[in-house]
Amino acid sequence: MGILEKIAEIEREMSRTQKNKATEYHLGLLKGKLARYRAELVEVKSGGPKGEGFDVKRSGDARVAMIGFPSVGKSTLLSNITDTEAAVSNIDFTTLQATPGRWEYNGAVIQLLDLPGIIEGASQGIGRGKQVVSTARTADLILMMLDATKSHLQRPLLEKELEAVGIRLNKNTPNIYYKIKTGGGISYNAMCKQSHLTEKFVYQLLHQYRVFNAEVLVREDVTIDDFIDVVVGNRIYLPCLYVYNKIDAITIEEVDRIAREDHTVVVSIEKDLNMDALKQSIWESLDLLRVYTKRHGEFPDFSEGLILRKGATVEECCRAIHKTLLDTFKYALVWGKSSKHNPQRAGLSHLLCNDDVIQIVRK
pLDDT for 225-239, tens place per residue?
899 999 988 888 999
- The pLDDT value given to residue 161: 82
- The pLDDT value given to residue 124: 56
Which value, to the nearest 10 degrees, does the dihedral of the CA atoms of residues 221, 224, 230, 234 take?
Answer: -140
Q: Tell me, what DSSP letter sits at residue 244? A: E
Average pLDDT rounded to a whole number, residues 45-61: 59
Neighbouring C-alpha atoms within 13 Å toward the C-beta of 213: 4
- The pLDDT value given to residue 50: 43
Average pLDDT rounded to a whole number, residues 123-143: 73
Q: Which helix (H) or strand (E) element contains residue 179?
A: strand 176-180
Q: Which helix (H) or strand (E) element contains residue 176?
A: strand 176-180
Comparing CA positions, the residue from 16, 138, 142, 15 lying closest to residue 67 is 142
Comparing CA positions, the residue from 16, 145, 11, 18 lying closest to residue 75 is 145
Of the pLDDT bands very low, low, confident and very high (cuts 50, 70, 90), residue 49 is: very low
- The pLDDT value given to residue 129: 57
- The pLDDT value given to residue 93: 47
Of residues 65 and 33, more confidence is placed in: 65
- The pLDDT value given to residue 54: 55
Residue 123 in this model has a pLDDT that exceeds 70: no
- The pLDDT value given to residue 44: 46
- The pLDDT value given to residue 121: 57
Cis? peptide before 343, omega within 30° of 0: yes
- The pLDDT value given to residue 43: 60
Average pLDDT rounded to a whole number, residues 178-189: 92
Residue 86 in this model has a pLDDT that exceeds 90: no
Beta strands in 247-335 (DSSP E): 264-266, 288-293, 306-309, 329-335
Lowest mean pLDDT among 86-90, 196-200, 322-326: 86-90
Residues linked to residue 257 through DSSP beta bridges, in sequence order: none
Average pLDDT rounded to a whole number, residues 205-234: 91
Query: What distance in Å separates the CA atoms of residue 14 and residue 28, rounded to the nearest whole number?
Result: 10
Of residues 274 and 83, more confidence is placed in: 274
Give me the DSSP letters along 48-105.
Answer: SPTT--------SSEEEEEEESTTSSHHHHHHHHSS------SSTT---S-EEEEEEE
- The pLDDT value given to residue 292: 92
pTM comes to 0.79
Of residues 230 and 98, more confidence is placed in: 230
> Amino acid letter at 29?
L
Residue 114 in this model has a pLDDT that exceeds 90: no
Average pLDDT rounded to a whole number, residues 35-47: 62
Q: Which helix (H) or strand (E) element contains residue 357?
A: strand 357-362
- The CA distances from residue 356 to 49, 61, 63, 306, 314, in Å, are 48, 18, 24, 10, 11
- The pLDDT value given to residue 238: 93
CB 239 within 8 A of CB 142: yes
- The pLDDT value given to residue 46: 38
Residue 85 in this model has a pLDDT that exceeds 80: no
- The pLDDT value given to residue 70: 83
Of the pLDDT bands very low, low, confident and very high (cuts 50, 70, 90), residue 29 is: confident
Average pLDDT rounded to a whole number, residues 343-354: 92
Of the pLDDT bands very low, low, confident and very high (cuts 50, 70, 90), residue 32 is: confident
Of residues 136 and 188, more confidence is placed in: 188
